[in-house]
Structure 1
Amino acid sequence: MNSIENFIRGIPKAELHLHIEGTLEPELMFALAHKHGVKLAHASVEELRAAYQFDDLQSFLDLYYAGAAVLRDEDDFHALTLAYLRRAHADGVVHVEIFFDPQTHTERGIAFETALNGIRRALADGEREFGITHRLILCFLRHLSADDAMRTLEQALPYKDMIAAVGLDSSERGHPPSKFTAVFERARREGFLSVAHAGEEGPPAYIYEALDLLRVSRIDHGVRCEEDPVLVERLAREGMPLTVCPLSNVKLRVYQRIEDHNLKRLLDRGLRVTVNSDDPAYFGGYVADNYLALQRGLNLSRDDIAQLARNSIDASFISADAKRKWLGEINCFVSAY
């Protein structure tokens, strides 16, 4: 392992854009399919991995939702989450803010609390074993109706102490954030923070809607903000975090090559950009792999990498004291180099 890779893997960082269902590696998918007698569309791990060639977001989602069908009981969600935390720990992650999609599971008859309890149990185990702190974010599937999202929010209300925020994911095209204004207003009244996917496949207008109508604390993706210079200036001025997922963007053809990615330009313009892995089992890399790809493709300096790590802590939902602690740890780590 070379010096820059040691630096990237070692520097303390948070991961803020991670779909736990998107960490389902083919090996675990086949094991759970065997456990539950589920027939998969692919005959082997190798054949399934070979199918991970996507033309756009929807072609990925079709495979993603099919894979999630093997998640049936609490132990499945526990195994899935703990496997992710083990990888995150090896990548220097000290805090995670994990998305989960209850509608993906309740639609097929899995109880809301089955997924929640399995994930939460693994997060507690991961904190004990690896020292990784956590927040959980419930995401609404935007291709479903706002009424369905509201019902999901109501299912979550008895578990408010376990869920820090609500988010918005799935198919972006044709499903603007404004579709969910009432749901997010209700979530805010109930004490939830909020985030939303916007500006990945959708236009800059979706970012404006997420900011002004949903009143989010972070924009997930947001890379198309660059098409609107006024929006870029606003994001920089307001310090609005963007949870960017570079390998995902390339895999889904938002960019043809990592060398084309705009993260470095956004960082240089003062935007609070962070680096995340999105759905790493499908997109070919966990968080350190994303940092490494960016460093090689965009020639990021150690100062750039340190700033991205600081941004991840600053943009998180942890306390001010915890932020000061981890920012100090980052500074100490950088000084040692």
Structure 2
Amino acid sequence: METLIELSQKMPKTELHLHIEGTFEPEQMFAIAQRNKVSLKYNTVEELKAAYQFTNLQDFLDLYYQGMSVLLHEVDFYDLTMAYLKKVHSENVVHVEIFFDPQGHLSRGVSFETQIKGIYNALKDAETQWGMTSKLIMSFLRHLSEESAFETLELAKPYLNWIDAVGLDSSEVGHPPEKFLNVFEASKKLGLKVTAHAGEEGPPDYVWQAIEQIGVDRIDHGNRALEDDKLINEIKQRNLTLTVCPLSNLKLCVVDDMKDHPIKRMLALNLHATVNSDDPAYFGGYMNDNYQSLIKNTKITKEELFQLAKNGILGSWMADQQKEHHLKELNTLFA
């Protein structure tokens, strides 16, 4: 009989919560920095790797934005995206929905066109080569103003046929979803889906705001929603998917020990929890690593493993026909 870890590796997976800038492996960051003659604070790959040890969200974000600084040309965005896609293709990820942070690059003088062309071309090449499907989510940085988000949305308009949704990320505490109410409203009118990081470090109230004021189609993280029974019921009633990131939660001390990760409780409550890697280069692992950690530490069962994979397919924004195809594969494997 196959072990659960083997099953988790073989099963078709979707990744619904992934920041492309968070897939920057130290070796690639160093190589692109040298190619573009950008100086990093670190003299060797080893020094850079040592910096990937941090204790909170802000320490991580400081390094994350420094890593961004080496991305200058279309080919850099292409190479970064393609390296991630190759990696997850090898792990049987069949569909990805990735975030990118245009404001973090625009502030450095890198045009919107340069960014999106590099990322989009890699996504299309992955579809041609392996049949991997994708959606692209443009994220607004919540520590910046809503005015800045509106300026970014304006720049995105010529590329709306390449963008499927908008998100909200960066430092959560002190930057509630309601701060971006108007720009989300404008995004919806353009036909874009909306999602927001809520309830990672921020309180349950931020999840309420994301649901009631923003009207999100999905919740990124959502861990702290479990502190509010009424909120749990609201999420269930609205049939909202939670894009949970186990290793990220551990690395950023959202949970102190993987044994205590709330994903089993989410499933027991019939919440549509999914497994994702968030920023895998920084947080200790890609999709298979996240599943393996859950299997080893939380003792999830075969039924729970199946449910997580199924939730990932159903909670994605891919076409119904594709969902049916992958569900059939999943059912066959687990049968």
Q: What TM-score range do you get, normalising by the shorter chain?
A: over 0.9
- 2:105 is aligned to 105
Q: Give the Cα separation in 2 of the matches to 1:248 and 1:179.
A: 25
Q: Give the Cα separation in 1 of the matches to 2:92 and 2:265.
A: 25
Give, in angstroms, the shift of residue 120 of structure 1.
Answer: 0.6
SS in 1 for 2:118: helix
SS in 1 for 2:160: helix
Residue segments in structure 1 that go unaligned for 5+ positions in a row: none
- Pair 1:226 & 2:229 matched: no
Give, in angstroms, the shift of residue 28 of structure 1.
Answer: 0.5
- 2:153 is aligned to 153
Whether the 8 Å CA contact 1:9–1:90 is kept in 2: the answer is no
Superposition pairs of residues 317-328 of structure 1, within 5 angstroms = 317-328=317-328
Residue segments in structure 2 that go unaligned for 5+ positions in a row: none
Aligned length: 334
- 1:240 is aligned to 240
Give, in angstroms, the shift of residue 315 of structure 1.
Answer: 0.5
For residues 55-107 of structure 1, give each alpha carbon's deviation from its aligned partner in whole angstroms, at most 9, with x where no partner exists: 21111100000011001101111110111011111111100001000001000
- 2:128 is aligned to 128
For residues 265-284 of structure 1, give each alpha carbon's deviation from its aligned partner in whole angstroms, at most 9, with x where no partner exists: 11111000000000000001
Q: Give the Cα separation in 2 of the matches to 1:201 and 1:54.
A: 16
- 2:196 is aligned to 196
Report the residue type matching 1:100 in the other structure. Answer: F
- 1:137 is aligned to 137
- 2:52 is aligned to 52
Q: Which runs of 4+ in 1 moved over 6 A?
A: none
Whether the 8 Å CA contact 1:57–1:171 is kept in 2: the answer is yes
Report the residue type matching 1:87 in the other structure. Answer: K
Give, in angstroms, the shift of residue 214 of structure 1.
Answer: 1.1
Q: Give the Cα separation in 2 of the matches to 1:67 and 1:60.
A: 11
Give, in angstroms, the shift of residue 53 of structure 1.
Answer: 2.1
SS in 1 for 2:214: coil
For residues 259-309 of structure 1, give each alpha carbon's deviation from its aligned partner in whole angstroms, at most 9, with x where no partner exists: 111111111110000000000000010011001101111001121111101
Q: Give the Cα separation in 1 of the matches to 2:90 and 2:259.
A: 26
Report the residue type matching 1:130 in the other structure. Answer: W
Report the residue type matching 1:323 in the other structure. Answer: K
Whether the 8 Å CA contact 2:5–2:295 is kept in 1: the answer is no
SS in 2 for 1:175: coil
Whether the 8 Å CA contact 2:15–2:96 is kept in 1: the answer is yes
Whether the 8 Å CA contact 2:5–2:291 is kept in 1: the answer is no
- 1:25 is aligned to 25
Superposition pairs of residues 1-337 of structure 1, within 5 angstroms = 3-335=3-335
Q: Give the Cα separation in 2 of the matches to 1:237 and 1:90.
A: 36
SS in 2 for 1:97: strand
Give, in angstroms, the shift of residue 52 of structure 1.
Answer: 1.8
> Structure 2-normalised TM-score?
0.98
**Aligned-residue RMSD, C-alpha:** 0.9
Q: Give the Cα separation in 2 of the matches to 1:86 and 1:33.
A: 21
Give, in angstroms, the shift of residue 238 of structure 1.
Answer: 2.3
> Structure 1-normalised TM-score?
0.97
Report the residue type matching 2:170 in the other structure. Answer: S
SS in 1 for 2:316: coil
**Identical amino acids, percent of aligned pairs:** 52
Report the residue type matching 1:273 in the other structure. Answer: A
Q: Give the Cα separation in 2 of the matches to 1:113 and 1:262.
A: 40
